[in-house]
């Protein structure tokens, strides 16, 4: 579905990504691992058209490099940024409503409803008419994930979804991601917690200094002590 070839990205004169190559296939979870500053979040932003890039980013065979973020989203790619970006003065229901997009008969992706979101995260149903800005970090993370899903994406890019969350909420997010996979939604997961990423991912890719330094299965990474020590362990 998503194919990235020789991707270079820049912040002004700063060269951040150095020839990144990776792919995400339909219905799989791919974990993008690495230390802070390795280029993981920049890769996500590059896919969404948020940074200056060179190279190729193809979505279902179509070149999308150079498209604006809203155009990328309309093609079926959802993005959950690390900073969550909820609308604090709007209620949970209103935030979810803003995530909806008009769907044509030929559009792909699973159709998600308010009932689906509230069934997945009952706490959001309880807070349906509460302003998002007064909710806990975990509740806001649930809301951001669900708001993105309301756009019926075929691929969802999630940047550090478990950052700062309590262990029980982390487990809930992991279950949520597996539910997405079961429904045919592809996931590109940017995550620091190796335990979660390795447990739910089909494939893992490790980044260091703006390049992909490892691609393989979770089992392959577990067996590769050099890569873990050099690029992941603190």
Asked which of 47-51, 140-144, 218-222 is least confident by mean pLDDT, the reply is 140-144
Instruction: List, in sequence order, every residue forming a beta bridge with 22; answer none if it has no partner.
Output: 4
Please report, rounded to a whole number, the percentage of residues in the chain having pLDDT higher than 70.
96
Average pLDDT, the chain: 91
Residue 104 pLDDT level (bands cut at 50, 70, 90)? very low
93 inside domain: no
Of 35, 37, 31, 33, which is closest to residue 16 (Cα–Cα)?
Answer: 37
pLDDT for residue 29? 97
CA distance 180 to 109: 11
pLDDT tens by residue, 26-50: 999 999 999 999 999 999 999 999 9
Q: Which two tokens stand for residue 156?
A: 């969802």
156: CATH? 3.40.50.300
33 inside domain: yes
Residue with token string 């045919």? 184
pLDDT for residue 227? 95
Burial class (CB in 10 A: 0-12, 13-18, 19+), 194: middle
Residue 105 pLDDT level (bands cut at 50, 70, 90)? very low
More confident residue, 181 or 109: 181
pLDDT for residue 106 is more than 70: no
143 inside domain: no
121 inside domain: no
pLDDT for residue 109 is more than 70: no
Total Cβ atoms within 10 A of residue 46? 25
214 inside domain: yes
**Mean pLDDT, rounded, for 102-111:** 54
Q: Where are the alpha helices (DSSP H) in 100-193?
A: 114-120, 122-126, 137-149, 167-182
Sheet holding 2-11, edge to edge: 14-24, 2-11, 52-59, 62-63
pLDDT for residue 55? 97
CA distance 121 to 143: 9
Total Cβ atoms within 10 A of residue 129? 9
State residue 35 phi and psi, 5-degree precision: -75, 165
110 inside domain: no
39 inside domain: yes
pLDDT for residue 110? 59
pLDDT for residue 103 is more than 90: no
Residue 97 pLDDT level (bands cut at 50, 70, 90)? very high
Q: What is the bridge-based pairing of β-strands 211-216 and 77-80?
A: unpaired
The model carries a pTM of 0.91
pLDDT for residue 108? 53
Asked which of 39-43, 88-92, 117-121, 203-207 is least confident by mean pLDDT, the reply is 117-121
46 inside domain: yes
Q: Which two tokens stand for residue 227?
A: 């890569």
pLDDT tens by residue, 65-86: 999 999 999 999 999 988 878 9
Residue with token string 């590059």? 46
CA distance 189 to 197: 8
Q: Give the domain range for residue 217.
A: 2-85+152-231
Please report, rounded to a whole number, the percentage of residues in the chain having pLDDT higher than 90.
73
Q: Distances from the Cα of 231 to the Cαs of 35, 82, 192, 205, in angstroms?
A: 7, 21, 12, 11
* Count of the separate structural domains present in the chain: 1
């Amino acid at each position: 579905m998503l194919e990235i070839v020789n991707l270079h990205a820049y912040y002004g004169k700063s060269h951040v990504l150095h020839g990144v190559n990776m792919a995400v296939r339909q219905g799989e979870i791919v974990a993008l691992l690495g230390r802070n500053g390795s280029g993981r979040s920049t890769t996500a932003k590059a896919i969404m058209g948020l940074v200056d890039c060179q190279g190729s980013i193809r979505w279902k065979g179509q070149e999308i490099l150079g498209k604006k973020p809203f155009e990328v989203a309309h093609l079926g790619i959802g993005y959950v940024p690390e900073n969550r970006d909820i609308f604090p003065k709007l209620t949970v229901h209103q935030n979810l409503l803003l995530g909806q997009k008009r769907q044509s008969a030929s559009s792909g992706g699973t159709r998600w409803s308010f009932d689906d979101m509230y069934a997945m995260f009952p706490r959001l149903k309880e807070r349906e008419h509460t302003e998002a800005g007064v909710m806990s970090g975990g509740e806001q993370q649930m809301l951001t994930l669900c708001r993105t899903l309301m756009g019926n994406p075929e691929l969802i890019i999630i940047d550090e979804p478990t950052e700062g969350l309590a262990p029980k909420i982390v487990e809930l997010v992991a279950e949520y991601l597996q539910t997405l996979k079961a429904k045919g939604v592809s996931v590109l997961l940017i995550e620091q917690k190796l335990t979660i990423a390795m447990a739910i991912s089909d494939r893992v890719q490790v980044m260091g200094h703006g390049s992909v330094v490892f691609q393989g299965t979770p089992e392959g990474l577990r067996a590769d002590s050099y890569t873990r020590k050099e690029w992941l362990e603190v």
